[in-house]
Amino acid sequence: MSLAAYLEGIAVEASIDWSEWEAKLRALIVDDEAGDAAHDLLHIERVVANARRLAEEEGVGLEVVVPAAYLHDCVVVRKDSPQRSQASRLAAQRAGVLLAEAGYPAGFVPAIRHAIEAHSFSAQIEARTLEAKVVQDADRLEALGAVGIARCLQTGGALQRPLYDAAEPFPQQRTPDDFANSIDHFFVKLLKLPATMQTESGKREAISRKDFMLLYLQQLGREIGVVGPQSCLLDA
């Protein structure tokens, strides 16, 4: 990027009235909301809060991060849909249209679209910018900790999946299958997320939230009568 383009970007960011634009972005989400309880407005507001905090800690501007955080789930595809891996690409396309209609500075839209495309775990798209890494981490933090547990069980309930495997609640001798029950999703994906975090501030928070999830699983094991040490928890 040339110095002139860099200075122009700073000038545009400084001219953005965030109180006005956050209201506009929020309105776009409310108008476009798909009704998925795990990807509702509360989820979006938490991702925006995460993204703002991580951006501040990482020294990243908000002109890409905030719109991408608001619009990252503007297209929601069910977890059990064969199109699930396309959700972030569809959301990026939709976000571009929404931002253009709202009159957001066009120079930031390609970077916003990239951040939205790259945020998804299932899409497996590399986050190439620091802004995209911040948005990806902000969204992945939502899958961890107390909120992550609640959203996991919320989604499993919506898909009518049992809480755990009755014969072997924690996958010791079997391969975890999160299409079969909710707790296996911890082992298929959630407990692995801290290792995928892209920013140092995101990693610190992710590890703290993972520790809480392991405590939850240990308590669940005690309550349902799981006997003996569980290597799947010790190795997580």
> Domains plus CATH for the chain?
3-129 (no CATH), 145-225 (1.10.3210.50)
Q: Name the 3-class secondary structure at 227.
A: coil
Residue in the structure block whose two tokens are 């929020």: 26
Q: How confident is the model at residue 4 (pLDDT cuts 50, 70, 90)?
A: very low
Distance of CA 232 to the CA centre of its chain: 24
For the entire predicted model, the pTM comes to 0.85
Angle between helices 87-102 and 62-71 (to 10 degrees): 120
The predicted structure's pLDDT at residue 119: 86
The predicted-structure confidence for 126-168, as pLDDT tens digits, reads as follows 889 999 999 999 999 999 999 999 999 999 998 999 999 999 9
Of 127, 144, 142, 147, the residue nearest 198 (C-alpha) = 127
Give the pLDDT band (50/70/90) at residue 70. Answer: very high
Mean pLDDT across 55-79: 89
Judge contact between 47 and 139, C-beta under 8 A: yes
| Distance separating alpha carbons of residues 134 and 191, to the nearest angstrom | 19
Taking the C-alpha atoms of residue 34 and residue 205, their distance in angstroms, rounded to an integer, is: 29
In 72-198, which ranges are continuous DSSP H helix?
87-102, 109-118, 130-141, 145-158, 184-188
78-135 pLDDT, tens per residue?
A: 666 666 667 888 889 999 999 999 999 999 999 999 999 988 877 678 889 999 999 9
Torsion of CA 81, 120, 181, 151, to 10 degrees: -110
Predicted confidence at residue 218, as pLDDT, reads 92
